[in-house]
Amino acid sequence: MDPIKESLLKTSRKAKQEKIGKLVTFLCILLIMVMVVAIILFVSLKGLATFVVNHVSPFDFFFGVNWNPSAKPPQVGALPMFLGSFIVTVLAAIIATPFAIGAATFMTEIAPRTGKKFLQPVMELLVGIPSVVYGFVGLAVFVPITRHLFGGSGFGIFTATLVLFLMVLPTITSMTTDALNSVPRNYRESSLALGATQFQTIYKVVWRAATPGIMTAVVFGMSRAFGEALAVQMVIGNAALMPTSLTSPAATLTSILTMGIGNSVSGTLENNAIWSLALLLLLMSLVFNLLVRWIGKRSSLK
């Protein structure tokens, strides 16, 4: 065959390079996918062992109010921890949301320049502060204050809420800022042209238009708060009891998890029950994910 024809029929060096490049980058993606699947699979297998191997009924697990897996007979009610996590998360979100909306509005509507100069770096720094440092500050400042104000030990849901408030504030604020920024400029202009004051424009037009975005921000913040472990574990008191008051020690899923894995032997019911808590945590994080998607889908339909 003549050499020109041959070279045209053969795969060129560049084409091979391209193939290899595409393959290698896809392998990286595949690795990430495999990791996610492996995490979900491993945690599910370990977590389901409580129900499959130890024959604990799921009803007892989800609605039982006593957590004492090492007792005889073992009690593995996860409700106290679940409620603890839930209350702490919701309270933190309730306190943080007005602040976040206020700060985001300040940054986008009231004083964009000052906002960019001062508030944005502040938010970025707050995100950057490691969670153990929040835990330490909670332990050193919030716990004594709570003890002083309400009596008791100072450890509990109230203190954990304060710590989480600080931790989710920047997340919710920055996402709310994005949501407000994406409201088209002409909405504001039309409102102002109709004679509305700036505040009327903000709360009747801008906030309404940005509601799905703000909701996404809040759910995102909640999912962060729900999964936060160490900062909460340091200030909540870690008593796996049904929460009765805001200032008495309680526990969250994450706090029992961090303490429990090291103190139990693999394969025992005690250990399996803790993995079930991990599974519950994983499921909740998936639920938050679905919620974000659902809000996104609903708002894009309109």
Cα gap 200→75, rounded to integer Å: 55
CB 109 to another protein: min, Å: 8
* CA–CA gap between residue 47 and residue 149 (Å, rounded): 40
- Given candidates 157, 234, 236, 250, which one binds another protein under the rule CB under 8 A? 234
**What does the DSSP 8-state code read for residue 107?**
I
Can you tell me the distance from the alpha carbon of 72 to that of 223, in angstroms, rounded to the nearest whole number? Answer: 35
In the complex, least distance from residue 69 CB atom to another protein, rounded to whole angstroms: 16
Residues 6+ apart with CB under 8 A from 163: 134, 135, 137, 138, 142, 231, 232, 235
Q: Which residue has the tokens 């492996």?
A: 38
Q: How far is the CB of 91 from another protein (least distance, A)?
A: 17
d(CA 265, CA 268): 6
Tell whether residue 145 is a contact of another protein (CB under 8 A).
no
For residue 282, count other CB atoms closer than 10 A to its CB: 16
Q: Does 139 bind another protein (CB under 8 A)?
A: yes
User: Out of 1, 8, 9, 28, which residue is the one contacting another protein (CB under 8 A)?
Assistant: 28
Q: What are phi and psi of 159, to 5 degrees?
A: -65, -45
Among the listed ranges 2-10, 19-27, 66-74, 177-185, the one in contact with another protein (CB under 8 A) is 19-27
Among 52, 53, 94, 133, binds another protein (CB under 8 A): 133
Total interface residues for another protein by CB under 8 A: 87
Q: How far apart are CA 88 and CA 70, in angstroms?
A: 26
Residue 124 touches another protein, criterion: CB under 8 A = yes
Position among 10, 15, 190, 294 found at the interface with another protein (CB under 8 A):
15
Does position 288 bind another protein by CB under 8 A? yes
Return the range that interacts with another protein (CB under 8 A); candidates 41-49, 66-74, 181-189, 240-248.
41-49
Gap between the terminal Cα atoms of the chain? 64
115: contact with another protein by CB under 8 A:
yes
**If you ran DSSP here, which 8-state letter would residue 70 be given?**
T
Question: Which residue among 7, 10, 38, 52 contacts another protein (CB under 8 A)?
Answer: 38
Cα–Cα distance for residue pair 153/31, rounded to 1 Å: 47
Pairing of strands 75-76, 67-68: antiparallel
Phi and psi dihedrals of 71, rounded to 5?
-75, 170
Least Cβ distance, residue 279 to another protein (angstroms):
9
Among 49, 166, 167, 236, binds another protein (CB under 8 A): 166
CB-nearer residue toward another protein: 79 or 101:
101
Of 65 and 116, which has the nearer Cβ to another protein?
116
Is 263:179 a contact under the CB 8 Å cutoff? no
Q: Among 26, 62, 63, 294, which residue sits at the site for another protein (rule: CB under 8 A)? A: 26
When asked if residue 254 is in the footprint of another protein (CB under 8 A), the reply is yes
Told to check if 63 binds another protein by CB under 8 A, we report no
Cα separation of 163 and 141, whole Å?
10
Looking only at residues 174 through 193 of this chain, which bind another protein when binding is defined by CB under 8 A?
none
Q: Could you tell me which stretch among 49-57, 62-70, 98-106, 205-213 binds another protein (CB under 8 A)?
A: 98-106
Residues 68-97 that bind another protein (CB under 8 A): none
